Amino acid sequence: MTQSHIPTETPLLDSVAGPSDLKRFSDDELARLSQELRSEVIRSVAQTGGHLGSSLGVIELTVAIHAVFNTPMDKLIWDVGHQCYPHKILTGRRHRMTSLRQKDGLSGFTKRSESEFDPFGAAHSSTSISAALGFAVGRDMGQPTGDAIAVIGDGSISAGMAYEALNNAGHEKRRLFVILNDNEMSIAPPVGAMSSYLSRLYANEPLAALRQMAEGFEAALPPPMREGAKRARQLVTGQPASGTLFEELGFTYIGPINGHDMGQLLPVLRAARARATGPVLIHCCTVKGKGYAPAESSRDKYHGVAKFDVPSGAQVKSKPNAPSYTAVFGQALCDIAARDPKVVAVTAAMPDGTGLDIMAKRFPARVFDVGIAEQHGVTFAAGMAASGLKPFCAIYSTFLQRGYDQVVHDVALQGLPVRFAIDRAGLVGADGATHAGAFDIAYLSNLPGFTVMAAADEAELVHMVATAAAHDTGPIAFRYPRGSGTGVVLPEIGTVLEIGKGRVIREGSDIAILSLGAHLSECEAAADLLAAEGVSVTLADARFAKPLDLDLLMQLARNHGALITVEQGSRGGFGAMVLHELAAAGVFDRGLAVRTLTLPDRFIDQASPDEMYLDAGLTRHDIATSAMQALGRERKVLGFQNAPRRA
Ligand SMILES: Cc1ncc(C[n+]2csc(CCOP(=O)(O)OP(=O)(O)O)c2C)c(N)n1
Ligand SMILES: CC(=O)[C@@H](O)[C@H](O)COP(=O)(O)O
Ligand SMILES: [Mg+2]
């Protein structure tokens, strides 16, 4: 710690090329740097959009950690990674911040391939403590790595995986730092007993001053804080080193401390770093959106924002021509819930993102927010289904991956009628590969007894919600993409679809395109391109990946020279199911040309959804080109390849 020496008019941030530069700043200068960093984050995210509120809440924490620890030798692991913008600025990526979340730009999360200061990639929550413990073991087994520090939010620590890691870390007793960034917010207001417990930890005024539970840490703190710590400990527990859940699990618990006060953060981190021999949990209280009034005063604390005007905080949002799939689902489910009191719904911490907020407003007692707990959410829904209720489990495709064994073991194996509403199916844009809904068709269609639907447009989605509500004989899922629908007229009330039946959209004779889900409009455009080339196309919407409409499939196979399947999903999904049936029926023996258009066998980097589908080879031109190739009319393909593509 040195005295302040840099003139106040000189921006400190300009002299920071990396975290090592922070070591020469005094504590006052680190506090000054924090303010500059806050302004920089606001200025930068105003131009790009992104996860602003969470990043503003960890400004001081980021500066303090980098000032005290020795990254990248020490491994700093941000849970979810959506709060890592100040970390990116301090770790040599300031000049690239205007590219955040765009094609070829900086990721909105931590990413190993992006920087040595991102030792572990993230975007799905609650993984940080496990990964940090892995690094700690690596260090203890001689790997060239230093301390491991996990920073995890109060929302993310509600997930089962975080408890599993705490449990294991408490048992391992290795030197490890967990910083609980408690801003009393998840995406939505936090829920659950753990959240209430954390609130109680600092609701008590003596604790709020400072709770310092270990003798060693007390001694290392400056005298005024030491006294406060002793008093707090005795007041609360009457005895040293026990009391909080974390301590019972084997951690040394420090806090709660004010995560925006460098006067508390720096000495506590220094003391912990100097003295820790086992796992330590430092409980920091922060404010989501801290220091930017529009964020602090908004309901969602500007968790995720579009580009915005800095003085007013007004976000630049384009006016969509059609309602979002999410809103259509939320309203359709609410309408059904109004008619059927057995309908209930489950969200894992995303009531607004899934559209369940609509039903929650009208039927609050029938919508269950379980916190970030997809695994529990699925089995909880299975239990409700077993009791005779009609649960809709609304989880993004990418996050349902977390609950896969529960889908298999608790739902499918028992044939329970849980309805899975799978939002964000397909490529989602700025959140990138971590959030792509790529795999659900594959991972659900292979399960015996599962019914899997995909909505071609928002009217179809309304029908699928009705179909799922009426389906009592086993699990059923329907998937739909992020963003606005196609603008079709919505039915007043959904029609229950015949299970396993597709529909023909237009009839032709040369080639059949069999689409599953929201790429139907792109297939229609491809059919138009082909028609302009003199190719007559039958276009069908499969509606069901499982059970497949075998009558329709065989009819398409019989009556056309080639068949193309198209889906917004990975290999191993709809196309694979079709190939399996075609092979079983022996159609290849009769010379049918088949192509399956899926996402490629690689992860697609962030960009706009259109750019991502272009990268994936799933544009109308790709579909038309494949069709021409399947028909053996190679020369015509050139025309399509040279045609302008969507940006
Ligand atoms: C497994 C998983 N489920 C859901 C999400 C969506 N999600 C991203 S951030 C977030 C809230 C995190 O809250 P917290 O950890 O308290 O961080 P804060 O934003 O408050 O800083 C949620 C639910 C996710 N990233 N991963
Ligand atoms: C960090 C995270 O996982 C969420 O905030 C996610 O970015 C939300 O995405 P949507 O905007 O699609 O709801
Ligand atoms: Mg939080």
Domains in the chain: boundaries: 13-297, 325-479, 503-642
Q: Is 429 near ligand 1, meaning CB less than 6 Å away?
A: no
With a cut of 90, say whether residue 45 has pLDDT above it: yes
Higher-confidence residue of 419 and 194: namely: 419
With a cut of 60, say whether residue 27 has pLDDT above it: yes
The Cα–Cα gap between 397 and 440 comes to: 6
Q: Which atom of ligand 2 is nearest to the CA of 430?
A: 7
With a cut of 50, say whether residue 235 has pLDDT above it: no
The Cα–Cα gap between 203 and 205 comes to: 6
What lies within 8 Å, CB to CB, of 413 at 6+ separation is none
* Sheet containing strand 593-597, strands side by side: 503-506, 537-541, 511-516, 562-567, 593-597
SS (H, E, C) 522-544: HHHHHHHHHHHCCCCEEEEECCE
User: What's the average model confidence in pLDDT over 58-83?
Assistant: 98
Ligand 2 binding site (Cβ under 6 Å of any ligand atom): 51, 80, 82, 187, 304, 353, 424, 428, 431, 482
Residue 226's pLDDT band (cuts 50, 70, 90): low
User: What's the average model confidence in pLDDT over 304-331?
Assistant: 96
Q: Is 543 near ligand 1, meaning CB less than 6 Å away?
A: no
Q: Which atom of ligand 2 is nearest to the CA of 304?
A: 5
Q: Is 12 near ligand 1, meaning CB less than 6 Å away?
A: no
User: What's the average model confidence in pLDDT over 403-422?
Assistant: 98
Q: Which atom of ligand 2 is nearest to the CA of 399?
A: 3
Among 460, 440, 458, CA closest to 546: 440
Question: Would you state the pLDDT for residue 156?
Answer: 97
In the chain, the percentage of residues whose pLDDT exceeds 70 is: 91
Please answer whether residues 150 and 256 qualify as being in contact, where contact means their C-beta atoms are separated by less than 8 angstroms.
Answer: no
What lies within 8 Å, CB to CB, of 606 at 6+ separation is 101, 102, 103, 105, 107, 108, 429, 430, 431, 432, 433, 612
The Cα–Cα gap between 370 and 376 comes to: 8
- The CATH class for the domain spanning 503-642 reads alpha beta
Q: 216 alpha carbon to ligand 2 midpoint, in Å?
A: 41
**508-528 residue pLDDT tens:** 999 999 999 999 999 999 999
**139-197 residue pLDDT tens:** 999 999 999 999 999 999 999 999 999 999 999 999 999 999 999 999 888 888 888 88
Q: 508 alpha carbon to ligand 1 midpoint, in Å?
A: 48
Q: Is 104 left (phi over 0), alpha (psi -120 to 50) or beta?
A: left
With a cut of 80, say whether residue 240 has pLDDT above it: no
- The CATH class for the domain spanning 325-479 reads alpha beta
Rg, Å, the chain Cα set: 27
Residue 639's pLDDT band (cuts 50, 70, 90): very low
Q: 80 alpha carbon to ligand 1 midpoint, in Å?
A: 6
Among 161, 157, 151, CA closest to 190: 157
User: What's the average model confidence in pLDDT over 612-626?
Assistant: 97
Query: How far from the centroid of its chain's Cα atoms is residue 590's Cα?
Result: 45
Residue 472, class by beta-carbon neighbours within 10 Å (0-12 exposed, 13-18 middle, 19+ buried)?
A: exposed
10-14, 44-48, 85-89, 641-645: lowest mean pLDDT where?
Answer: 641-645
Q: Catalytic site residues? A: 288, 374, 402
Among 64, 54, 74, CA closest to 29: 64
Residues in the chain: 647
Residue ranges for the known binding site for thiamine diphosphate are 82, 123-125, 155-156, 183, 292, 374
- From the CA of 324, the nearest ligand is 2
Architecture field, domain 13-297:
3-Layer(aba) Sandwich (3.40)
466: amino acid identity, one letter: A
Please answer whether residues 159 and 371 qualify as being in contact, where contact means their C-beta atoms are separated by less than 8 angstroms.
Answer: yes
Q: Which sign, positive or negative, has the C-alpha torsion 568, 360, 125, 408?
A: negative
Among 399, 381, 438, CA closest to 127: 399
User: What's the average model confidence in pLDDT over 426-448?
Assistant: 98
Q: Tell me, what DSSP letter sits at residue 316?
A: -
Among 187, 302, 317, the mutation site with the greatest number of ligand 2 atoms within 8 A of its Cβ is 187
Identical fold for domains 13-297 and 503-642, yes or no, is yes
The Cα–Cα gap between 351 and 326 comes to: 11
With a cut of 60, say whether residue 428 has pLDDT above it: yes
The Cα–Cα gap between 225 and 214 comes to: 13
Q: Which atom of ligand 2 is nearest to the CA of 350?
A: 13
Higher-confidence residue of 239 and 203: namely: 203
With a cut of 50, say whether residue 205 has pLDDT above it: no
With a cut of 70, say whether residue 227 has pLDDT above it: no
> Between helices 325-339 and 458-470, what is the axis angle to 10°?
30
What are the phi and psi torsion angles at 484 (to 5°)?
A: -80, 155
